[in-house]
């Protein structure tokens, strides 16, 4: 099974789009989600994200991310509902007060988070990291070192996750109860692991940089890239669509 | 040619030398196998040739290492890398790309290989490493052995004058290990590439390498033509390097034949037949 940020090979329209278009599209969805305050429009954006997931053949993965976000969403929603005290009161009991405003603010936050996270995952699912950095360097004139750092960071996320679960498994085998239901206790158990994880991660990145240098990394310039990118007609359609999304975000 | 004179290296913060007064000359076109127990300094020696020691490893460096006329201390890491291709021991950390094709492309693009040659060199390197079918695979989805071959292919594509490999068969089964060594032999014989390989399996080294260097505790115990080094089998065993069983066997036969050492199974067979006749 692939990780939730991994590239999924395929030949859908989304796969064939220019990486720049995909980058613009996903950023525009995010921006639009932050511009709008309209709940319906946010719902439409989430629906559109899922539809794009179907188009790119990565719907299952999008659903997995959604269910992953669910816990966090419920938590954030409750937080907002309990803390917003303005607006028409729906329910009151002692200091507990639920208002219409609170429900709206909570729903907006959760939908915004979802609408803005999905397109980033979608982008990484249908675009190879090397193409993403390639297009950043070639078209957007981002210095190669920064593009490389960005893609390496993304590439290392699953490596760290694997390392973390490796450490946790080893500790569990020695009787540490990571499966505790008590969140405070769990955080207390996890915190001490951060230092060794960070040290081994930094070490790995150093090794990686040294290895890249042995293969001429420092000589690399914008002109080094041998792959060239070109727009297909669908690219223009998607770019126009991205601009419309921004406009809609401002309007609603 | 690689010339190492009086090389000692101590990692920063360590209280003992990882390498001690190493003297070693590797002529062009040699196929050198480095062997020794864990912690002997094999990786440190490889890093001293490619320049990671001392450029990217802090510590006290004494003596000199000259690679193709360049003093490794004075030369830039990148200039050394034009001559020396290195496959590091940790495969995961040397993968720079998300898929195999880009992994091979990376070095070629960096060193400015002509654009119309890149395709041909990728295909050739993949074929040499026997992984043509992996070209479009995502690196994360490969097995340890497959990654190891990708790492080797990525270096072969660069066609370096000197090829360094740190335990390239660590995660491979015997059949694939043999295949890797056949590739190395072909590079060595056909293109005159100098090959230096760290390897734990002495059987492989003695059938493919021309010379052997045995490291122990930071010191160069023995170095020389394979046959000469194998004659020291008793000393090697004391260090913890197990000699091929054929060598041990031929040592037993030695009293009867007074002299010659068998380095391969075929030779040993002939020898045993000779003794039995
Ligand atoms: N980065 C480092 N910092 C400090 N000491 C190190 C470092 N790398 C290696 N050493 C030490 O230097 C010595 C030689 O290590 P080296 O990695 O060269 O051995 P090796 O022969 O390659 O071993 P192995 O077969 O396990 O790969 C060891 O004692 C090791 O602990
Ligand atoms: Mg080593």
Domain limits, chain B = 2-243
Domain shared by A85 and A182, yes or no:
no
List, chain by chain if needed, residues with CB within 6 Å of any ligand 1 atom: B 11, 14, 18, 36, 38-44, 89
- Which of A130, A214, A224 is opposite residue B81, by nearest beta carbon? A214
By residue range, what is the domain housing residue A34?
A: 13-138+229-251
Residue given tokens 């066997």 in the structure block: B249
Mean pLDDT of the A170-190 span: 79
Identify whether A193 is part of a domain.
yes
Identify whether A119 is part of a domain.
yes
Domain shared by A22 and A129, yes or no:
yes
- Pick from A97-111, A142-156, B182-196, B247-261 the range whose average pLDDT is largest: B182-196
Domain shared by A20 and A118, yes or no:
yes
Q: How many structural domains compose chain A?
A: 2
- Ligand 1 pocket test, pick from B39, B56, B239, B240 with the greatest ligand atom count within 8 Å of Cβ, gives B39
**3-class SS of residue B245:** helix
Distance CA B131, CA B100 (A): 10
Q: What is the 3-state secondary structure (H, E, C) of B79-139?
A: HHHHHEEEECCCCHHHCCCCEHHHHHHHHHHHCCCCHHHHHHHHHHHHHHCCCHHHCCCEH
Domain shared by A103 and A197, yes or no:
no
Domain shared by A219 and A118, yes or no:
no
Domain shared by A134 and A168, yes or no:
no
CATH number for the domain formed by residue range(s) B2-243? 3.40.50.300
Angle B93-B96-B101 (CA atoms, 0-180°, nearest 5)? Answer: 130
Q: Which residues contact B178 (CB under 8 A, 6 or more apart)?
A: B204
Domain shared by A219 and A177, yes or no:
yes
pLDDT (0 to 100) of residue A133? 87
Domain shared by A60 and A125, yes or no:
yes
pLDDT over 90 percentage in chain A: 35
Burial of A228 (0-12, 13-18, 19+ CB in 10 A): exposed
Looking at per-residue confidence, does A63 or B234 come out higher? Answer: A63
CB B42 within 8 A of CB B34: yes
pLDDT (0 to 100) of residue B121? 94
- Atom 3 in ligand 1: residue holding the nearest Cα: B11
Identify whether A188 is part of a domain.
yes
Ligand 2 centroid, distance to B257 Cα (angstroms): 38
pLDDT < 70 stretches in chain B: 248-260, 275-277
Interface test with A, best of B98, B106, B107 (most A CBs within 10 A): B98
- Compute and round to an integer the Cα radius of gyration of chain A: 22
For the cut 70, the answer to whether the pLDDT of residue A163 exceeds it is yes
Confidence of residue A1 (pLDDT cuts 50, 70, 90): very low
**Which residues in A lie closer than 8 A to residue B107 (C-beta atoms)?**
215-216
Domain shared by A149 and A53, yes or no:
no
pLDDT (0 to 100) of residue A5? 76
Chain centroid to Cα A87, Å, comes to: 33
Domain shared by A199 and A103, yes or no:
no
Identify whether A64 is part of a domain.
yes
Domain shared by A126 and A23, yes or no:
yes
ipTM: 0.83
CB contact under 8 A, B98 and A212: no
Domain shared by A98 and A216, yes or no:
no
């Amino acid at each position: 099974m692939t990780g939730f940020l991994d590239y999924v090979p395929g030949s859908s329209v989304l796969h064939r789009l220019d990486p720049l278009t995909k980058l613009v599209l996903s950023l525009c969805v995010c921006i639009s989600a932050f511009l709008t305050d309209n709940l319906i429009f946010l719902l439409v954006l989430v629906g559109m994200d899922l539809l794009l997931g179907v188009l790119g053949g990565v719907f299952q993965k999008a659903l997995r991310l959604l269910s992953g976000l669910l816990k966090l969403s419920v938590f954030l929603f409750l937080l907002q509902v309990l803390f917003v005290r303005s607006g028409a009161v729906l329910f009151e009991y002692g200091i507990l007060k639920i208002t219409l405003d609170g429900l709206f603010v909570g729903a907006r936050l959760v939908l915004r988070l979802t609408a803005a996270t999905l397109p980033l995952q979608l982008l990484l699912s249908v675009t190879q990291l090397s193409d993403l950095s390639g297009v950043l360097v070639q078209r957007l004139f981002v210095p190669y070192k920064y593009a490389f750092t960005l893609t390496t960071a993304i590439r290392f996320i699953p490596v760290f996750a694997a390392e973390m679960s490796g450490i946790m498994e080893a500790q569990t085998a020695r009787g540490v109860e990571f499966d505790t239901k008590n969140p405070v206790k769990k955080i207390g158990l996890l915190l001490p692991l951060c230092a060794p994880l960070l040290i081994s991660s930094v070490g790995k990145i150093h090794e990686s940089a040294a290895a890249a240098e042995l293969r001429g990394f420092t000589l690399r310039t914008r002109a080094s890239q041998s792959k060239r990118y070109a727009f297909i007609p669908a690219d223009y359609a998607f770019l126009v669509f991205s601009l419309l999304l921004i406009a809609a975000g401002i309007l609603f | 040619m690689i010339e190492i004179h009086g090389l000692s290296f101590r990692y920063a913060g360590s209280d003992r030398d990882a390498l001690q007064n190493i003297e070693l000359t590797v002529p062009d076109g040699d196929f050198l196998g480095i062997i020794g127990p864990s912690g002997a300094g094999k990786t440190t020696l490889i890093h001293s040739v490619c320049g990671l020691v001392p450029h990217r490893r802090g510590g006290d460096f004494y003596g000199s290492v000259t690679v193709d006329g360049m003093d490794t201390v004075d030369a830039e890491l990148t200039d050394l890398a034009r001559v020396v291709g290195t496959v590091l021991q940790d495969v995961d950390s040397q993968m720079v790309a998300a898929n195999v094709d880009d992994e091979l492309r990376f070095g070629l693009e960096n060193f400015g290989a002509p654009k119309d040659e890149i395709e041909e060199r990728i295909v050739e390197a993949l074929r040499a490493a026997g992984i043509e079918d992996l070209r479009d695979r995502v690196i994360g989805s490969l097995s340890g052995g497959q990654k190891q071959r990708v790492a080797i292919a990525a270096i072969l594509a660069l066609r370096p004058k000197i090829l360094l490999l740190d335990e390239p068969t660590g995660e491979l089964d015997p059949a694939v290990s043999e295949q890797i060594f056949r590739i190395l032999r072909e590079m060595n014989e056909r293109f005159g590439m100098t090959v230096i390989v760290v390897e734990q399996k002495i059987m492989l080294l003695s059938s493919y390498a021309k010379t052997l260097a045995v490291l122990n505790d930071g010191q160069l115990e023995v170095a020389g033509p394979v046959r000469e080094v194998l004659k020291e089998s008793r000393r090697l065993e004391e260090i913890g390097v197990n000699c091929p069983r054929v060598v041990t066997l031929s040592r037993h036969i030695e009293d009867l034949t007074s002299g010659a050492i068998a380095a391969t199974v075929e030779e040993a067979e002939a020898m045993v037949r000779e003794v039995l006749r």
